[in-house]
Amino acid sequence: MSRSRKKIPVFKNTDKSAKRYANHAVRHRTTEFVLKGNAYKKCYPSWNICEHTGRWTLEDALKTYHDPIEGKRFRKYWKTEKEFVNYWRRETLQK
């Protein structure tokens, strides 16, 4: 089965400790009934797992890259604009 790419550029920054806590809450839940299928998803609210989600268009990314103060940390790792655009595509469109 082939994987399709996203149409809308979204950047997600997930918190590993929140995922661990959610997994712990689901596994150690004391209930009288056994969870069947994907019913475990209803035990813990999923919006607590993802800490930051936002749209990051290519125009916004290039503005950030060319900004003298904010773009310094990006230019440290990606020397050329082409390398930065490849990073943007990998992080936003393929996940």
Write out pLDDT tens, residues 7-56. Answer: 677 766 666 777 777 777 777 776 666 667 676 667 766 666 665 667 78
In-domain check, residue 25: yes
**pLDDT band with cut points at 50, 70 and 90 for residue 57:** confident
**Would you mind telling me the total number of residues written for the chain in this entry?**
95
Residues 38 and 70 reside in one and the same domain: no
5 pLDDT higher than 70:
no
d(CA 26, CA 19): 11
pTM, full prediction: 0.53
Residues 13 and 48 reside in one and the same domain: yes
Query: Which residue type is seen at 52?
Result: H
d(CA 76, CA 27): 42
Question: Cα(first)–Cα(last) distance of the chain, in Å?
Answer: 16
**pLDDT number for residue 23:** 74
Residues 61 and 87 reside in one and the same domain: yes
Print the domain residue range for 67.
56-95
Token reading at 18: 């929140």
Number of structural domains (the chain) is 2
d(CA 17, CA 3): 28
